[in-house]
Amino acid sequence: MRQLAIIEDGGMLVRGEYIAAVGRRREIESLIESDTEVVDAGHRVLLPGFVDAHTHPVFAGMRANEFEQRASGATYREIAARGGGIRSTVRSTRNASQADLVRAGKRYTDWFLRNGTTTVEAKSGYGLSLEDELKILRAIKQLNDETPLRYVPTFLGAHDIPSEYRSRRQAYVSLVINEMLPRVAEEKLAEYADAFCEADVFTTDETWEILSAARCHGLGLRIHADQLSLSGGAKLAAELNAATADHLEHTDATGIMALKAAKVQPVLLPGSVYALGSNDYPAARQMIDAGLAVVLATDFNPGSSPVPSMPMILSLACTQLKMTPAEAISAATINAAYSLGRGDEIGSLEKGKRADFVIHDASDYRELAYWFGIEHPWRVYVGGELVFQRSGASC
């Protein structure tokens, strides 16, 4: 993760949607033909587009009121217990049409792209009824079709127990398993399934039941694990052979060893720790030192992590998780791509891969994590197409 294979004075040839060659500038210049469009990046850093492998980008409304309550001392769990939190966003999302959700989603798509993200994993989970979950997944499909950002859809019907099922939770688990999962699979609306495994949300047994059923429908598995407490989510992810275990703020050494033995990739989300005003950052160093292919993502959502910026996550990874800038970039690109089953397609600049890349307004890759709170991209390309261009002064 610390070796970025940097090409100094490099160049890249793109043909159509794909990378045709990468190398020293002189080698690449010799391939220029009469109809080749030449883009002079100056001495800027060119990197693969960020792959944000954990987001919740389709929802209605926002929760600045809860942000204010937390600033005054309330905790995320207290707010959730009194009907706020995820259930508050569920209420507004149920009242929104698919068109409303797509309209809001396009605004966030723009935020992702201008921060250099070219692929996002996108979870449902703010509907929690058959029709509302389908509506969100269809909105994700529409966003994938109508915007340049690539969306990888994940079904998160097990994000919370909706208010109307609070006194009969097993009935909600059955609804997810017997009605939602078959429809999601039949309509091919998701590649992965996820569940929020946590003491106040889904128990490890319920998570096991739901995700085992999801696997039978051919979905890959991801788990919100050990976020607010050591609930056994990491160990469960290992038992289920999930693709990823996400959050892991409270995972202990046994959990880390279980992930390693089962080759489950940890997805670390320091933006949510930061935005919740907590200090419980996950043990990234122990995970990397154990040989795990750590991934970094934003967890973009209206409650715990209202941040679409991967450069901000790189900054938090270096300052709070003690990852080096190089490790953070590997975690935000190639490792993330593999966690989404797309390691041979995106996540690095190699011949034959999709031409998803970003020219950053920086001359050293470490600047992306170092200057924080700014937008670094100068030009963003998806499949060889220019999709964002910064105006104004640059280096």
Which positions touch ligand NIG (CB under 6 A)? 56, 85-86, 89, 196, 224, 227, 272, 299, 301-305
The 3-class SS string of 204-262 reads HHHHHHHHHHHHHCCCEEEEEECCCCCCCHHHHHHHCCCCEEEECCCCCHHHHHHHHHH
Rounded to the nearest whole angstrom, what is the least distance from the CB of residue 304 to ligand NIG in the complex? 4
Task: State which residue, 299 or 356, has the beta carbon closest to ligand NIG.
Answer: 299
Q: Residue 267 and residue 290: Cα distance in Å, rounded?
A: 15
Task: State which residue, 87 or 360, has the beta carbon closest to ligand NIG.
Answer: 87
Task: State which residue, 45 or 90, has the beta carbon closest to Fe ion.
Answer: 90
Q: Which of Fe ion, ligand NIG, none interacts with 85 (beta carbon under 5 to 8 A by kind)?
A: ligand NIG
Rounded to the nearest whole angstrom, what is the least distance from the CB of residue 57 to Fe ion in the complex? 11
* CB-nearest residue to Fe ion: 299
Q: Which of Fe ion, ligand NIG, none interacts with 124 (beta carbon under 5 to 8 A by kind)?
A: none
Instruction: Identify the CA nearest to 355 among candidates 10, 6, 16, 3.
Output: 16
Q: Which of Fe ion, ligand NIG, none interacts with 138 (beta carbon under 5 to 8 A by kind)?
A: none
The SS3 of residue 45 is strand
Task: State which residue, 61 or 148, has the beta carbon closest to Fe ion.
Answer: 61
Q: Residue 164 and residue 160: Cα distance in Å, rounded?
A: 11
Q: Which of ligand NIG, Fe ion, none interacts with 304 (beta carbon under 5 to 8 A by kind)?
A: ligand NIG
What angle (nearest 5°) sits at the alpha carbon of residue 168, between those of residues 163 and 174?
A: 100
Distance spanning both ends of the chain, measured CA to CA:
28
Q: Which of Fe ion, ligand NIG, none interacts with 196 (beta carbon under 5 to 8 A by kind)?
A: ligand NIG
Rounded to the nearest whole angstrom, what is the least distance from the CB of residue 67 to ligand NIG in the complex? 11
Largest Cα separation within the chain, whole Å, is: 70
Q: Residue 375 and residue 390: Cα distance in Å, rounded?
A: 9
Q: Which of Fe ion, ligand NIG, none interacts with 353 (beta carbon under 5 to 8 A by kind)?
A: none
Task: State which residue, 228 or 346, has the beta carbon closest to Fe ion.
Answer: 228
Tokens representing 260 are 């390693």
Phi first, then psi, for residue 207 (nearest 5°) are: -60, -45
Rounded to the nearest whole angstrom, what is the least distance from the CB of residue 194 to Fe ion in the complex? 8
Tokens representing 104 are 């809001």
Residues at the interface with Fe ion (CB under 5 A):
299
Task: State which residue, 191 or 299, has the beta carbon closest to Fe ion.
Answer: 299
